[in-house]
């Protein structure tokens, strides 16, 4: 089957390209640009999935065979890991397995919402700036927690790189860009430097096109 990644610039879908490179799966990239006025995804994405969001992948069999469409980054990550017989997925050791599952869902379930709220508020004149001061402490709680975790081991699940690290990349890149993540949290910054140095990450960047957070 052929994997097609419907990839929106400067978005969560960069993680999907990276994971595909780490897993060594062949894929095609269909790029989309944001609306310059609204910064939203273009309507063409609705032809692939009703939500019109990125990332979304198609796994298409040759000669008009089965077509599987998967949306939502976490679901895509689990689909691709399963497709590779669990590689970069759930670790064998129970303690690592529990951390893997936690961070796989924590990335979008807990860390991203306040970062997204801060981004939205930054576009609101006057009142937005005042409201952002109340959001930053919420973000700091997460950044402090993440720093305490990464201070004890090199990767989120344990001693080995997993898909949980892929999931955590976008929120932490966004936090470095606009959420207050800086050198005062050295373990997290060191982790970002490690992922950015990975050959698969660099290859995914080259294939994905403009990405503001690397």
The Cβ of residue 23 has, within 10 Å, a number of other Cβ atoms equal to 17
Instruction: Please give the pLDDT value at position 163.
Output: 98
Domains of the chain: 2-88+200-208 (3.40.30.10), 94-198 (1.20.1050.10)
Instruction: Find the helix or strand (DSSP H, E) in which 10 lies.
Output: none
Determine the longest span between alpha carbons in the chain, in angstroms: 57
pLDDT in tens, the chain (214 residues): 789 999 988 889 999 999 999 999 999 999 988 877 777 788 888 999 999 888 999 998 776 678 899 999 999 999 999 999 999 999 999 999 999 999 999 999 999 999 999 988 887 776 777 778 889 999 999 999 999 999 999 999 999 999 999 999 999 999 999 999 999 999 999 999 999 999 999 999 999 988 888 7
From CA 94, how far away is CA 100, in angstroms rounded?
Answer: 10
């Amino acid at each position: 089957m052929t994997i097609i990644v419907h990839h929106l610039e400067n978005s969560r879908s960069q993680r999907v390209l990276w994971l595909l490179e780490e897993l060594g799966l062949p894929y095609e990239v269909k790029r989309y640009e944001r609306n310059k006025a609204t910064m939203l995804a273009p309507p063409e994405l609705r032809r692939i999935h009703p939500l019109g969001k990125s990332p979304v992948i198609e796994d298409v069999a040759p000669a008009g065979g089965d077509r599987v469409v998967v949306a939502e980054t976490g679901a895509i990550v689990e689909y691709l890991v399963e497709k590779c017989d669990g590689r970069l997925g759930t670790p064998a050791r129970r303690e690592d397995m529990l951390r893997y599952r936690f961070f796989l869902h924590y990335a979008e379930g807990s860390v991203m919402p306040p970062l997204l709220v801060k981004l939205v508020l930054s576009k609101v004149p006057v009142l937005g700036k005042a409201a952002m001061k109340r959001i930053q402490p919420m973000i700091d709680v997460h950044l402090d927690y993440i720093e305490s975790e990464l201070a004890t081991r090199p990767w989120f699940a344990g001693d080995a790189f997993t898909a949980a690290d892929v999931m955590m990349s976008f929120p932490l890149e966004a936090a470095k860009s606009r959420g207050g993540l800086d050198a005062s949290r050295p373990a997290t910054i060191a982790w970002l430097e490690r992922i950015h140095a990975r050959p698969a990450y660099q290859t995914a960047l080259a294939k994905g096109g403009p990405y503001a957070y690397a």
